[in-house]
Amino acid sequence: MSCGQRSLTSFPCSQCGLCCQHVQLAPETRFLDRGDGTCRHYDVASKGCSIYMERPDICRVDRQYLMNYAQQYSWDEFVAVNVKACEFLQAGQVG
Ligand code: SF4
Ligand code: SF4
């Protein structure tokens, strides 16, 4: 993926869909909650985002990095923090 002069490796998303089913966990994504923690744009059948091309900035890990975290972290560090959050969800440590 290419972002201007910066080239970032892809985020290693397994498309498990769990982050989209727990949007209540972060203040920045709570506005997407349909009422049970799942995003109102999440498509259960395909386990995907129904507005993927138009999804909000908060759902774009590369854009979030460039907008808010590139001054503090390397891309690899930022990926590692986010992968930990994925692993936390995948371990079933939240309801
Ligand atoms: S929880 Fe992580 S691996 Fe699963 S869909 Fe979200 S970003 Fe991808
Ligand atoms: S807008 Fe799409 S990518 Fe963002 S939380 Fe909802 S379903 Fe997931």
DSSP letters for 66-83 = IIIITTTS-HHHHHHHHH
Mean pLDDT (the chain, rounded): 91
**Cα–Cα–Cα angle for 53, 55, 57, nearest 5°?**
120
Nearest-atom index, ligand 1, CA of 90: 1
- What distance in angstroms lies between residue 52's CA and the mean position of ligand 2's atoms? 7
The preferred substitution site among 18, 46, 59 for testing ligand 2, maximizing ligand atoms within 8 Å of CB, is 59
- The pLDDT of residue 24: 97
Greatest CA separation for the chain: 40
Q: Which pair of tokens denotes residue 38? A: 């799942």
Residues with CB under 6 A from ligand 2: 20, 23, 32, 39, 41-42, 49, 51, 55-56, 59
Q: What is the pTM of this model?
A: 0.88
> Which of 80, 95, 89 lies closest to 17 in space, CA to CA?
89
Share in percent of the chain as helix, strand, coil (round to 5): 40, 10, 45
The residue count for the chain: 95
If you search the block for the tokens 């969800």, which residue do you land on? 89
pLDDT of 3 above 70: no
Summarised one tens digit per residue, pLDDT across range 30-40 is 999 999 999 99
